[in-house]
Chain A
Amino acid sequence: MEIDSNYNVIEILTVILGWLAIIFFAYTIYQKQMVKPKVWEIPLIILVGLFSFSINWKMFDVMVQLPILPLGVWILYFVFKGKDQRWQTCRSFAWLGFGANFIFLASTLLTLPVHHVIYPKDDLSVYISNVENASIINIHPSAKDRSLNKDSLRKQLDTMRQEAIYSDQWYKETYMDPSSSKRNERFPYLLIGTSSKWGSGLHALIYIEDDGKGILLSTPKKELYFRSKDSLLEGGE
């Protein structure tokens, strides 16, 4: 069994940075205050302040949340309305909570280009970085009894050429004779046991073509197709 510990490290780092920024701002506000609230109340007020009505907005392939209404701030206002003094002391922290939404929004937007530079999304070696425990499984009866040639895969990872996907053509070629159920699959093997580059948090299904010279990468966002010069498989012919 493979143990999967590949998290998106950059995303985790920016979330931590975001929280550090919030703590820094909270500390600055606390220093400036004449009448100070109890320290344990501050995280609570910030957390309630975080609560907001936001709209989802698609930007460069990802959903970002744009906060609109500061619901948490309103709730705190109604709770503390009667006690004027209390509202004065906690108001800044409540708004800091709402502002935290924007800090996280900014960090998400920052993450995207950084992630793309460190882990280029068109690069095969980002998805297949460790082939030590790699093997193939047959996912269609037209697959032959073949095995993975690890050396061939390792050597060609950086030299495989990306090519266009002719999805409709591949599909139609398979159904040349629609009356017969005798059909071969163009990609009857699945490459397993590989891991993507450390810290990328990327996942893909990696299909191998019947001639052993093509890789179809199916990622959550898109598909990529690569061709190699020599076969990645051995035996079976």
Chain B
Amino acid sequence: MTKKKIGSLGFFIILLSIIVYWFYFSSPAPFPPNQQLIDEMNRIFPKATASIIQDTIPIDERHVLVPFISQKDDYGLSYWVWKHHKWQVASIDTKGEPMLWKLNGNDPSSFYFVWNINPRDHLHSIHFYLIRNRGYRIAEGIERYYPRVQMEKKVSIQEKSYGAMQLSDEWVTFMNAYSKVESAKQFPEQNMFLGWTPYDQTNNETFPWSSVNGTMYLNSKIDLDYLMTVGKGDIEIPR
């Protein structure tokens, strides 16, 4: 190889790495203004009919939650991600029933509860739960008892219809310890789940019918989980 060839190859490699860096790793540009968000959402997913942006909630540097109100007066959620050097809308849900947004695969400390409840549903608060049901098993002379795990987090939706909440440290600690033991099992059990219970002003269980069963636009690069609703009767209270 001549010197000239080596030189141009080196130049090409440097240029390529700059482009790759710019495309994948460069720090995010400022988040677009509201009107631009509305236009982009309605262009990508016309059913959204977004008309008012309620807020933009930065989850971290590269993830932003944008609650919005549609022309049909539905309260929805849109999920924005900085990817390929662009702010992209990763998902749009025309209604804001509580969901779990997993920013980083299996790391529970990157999990967020997100919600946007229509005021028509007159909810007062949402109780989020981490539950593992009590159980026992006797097989081949080995006895196992599974204590019930029930951890709770209450969120008021009086002032704001929407929100995002990271799982608390204690939840994350439990989930990590649990999955470490389960993954070492020959037959892992998946009997732990996250759920929610909606409550009205009088602290009775209710159901936010105007906030569920929305239509959803989903770009495959986002990890969103539905949450189970837990009946008030399934919640244990100490004796």
Contact = CB atoms under 8 A, between A and B. Distances in A.
Given A167-B136, A182-B237, A218 B144 contact: yes
Contacts of A205: 177-178, 181
Interface residues of B, number: 34
Nearest to B170: A137
Given A137-B173, A137-B174, A219-B181, A167 B145 contact: yes
Main secondary structure of the interface of A (DSSP, over half): loop
- Chain A contact residues (Cβ within 8 angstroms of B): what range? 35 or more
A51 interface: no
Contact of A187 (B142, B147, B185): B147
B137 interface: yes
B40 interface: no
A110 B186 CA distance: 20
B184 A203 contact: yes
Contacts of A84: none
Interface stretch (A20-28, A32-40, A139-147): A139-147
Contacts of A184: 238-239
- Which of B136, B145, B177, B182: most chain A Cβ within 10 A? B145
B107 to A, nearest CB: 11
B55 interface: no
Contact of A141 (B136, B142, B144, B238): B238
A220 B239 contact: no
Contacts of B150: 139-141, 185
B44 interface: no
Given A63-B186, A220-B185, 13 more contacts: A139-B149, A167-B143, A170-B145, A171-B134, A174-B148, A182-B238, A184-B239, A188-B147, A190-B173, A203-B180, A205-B181, A216-B147, A220-B182
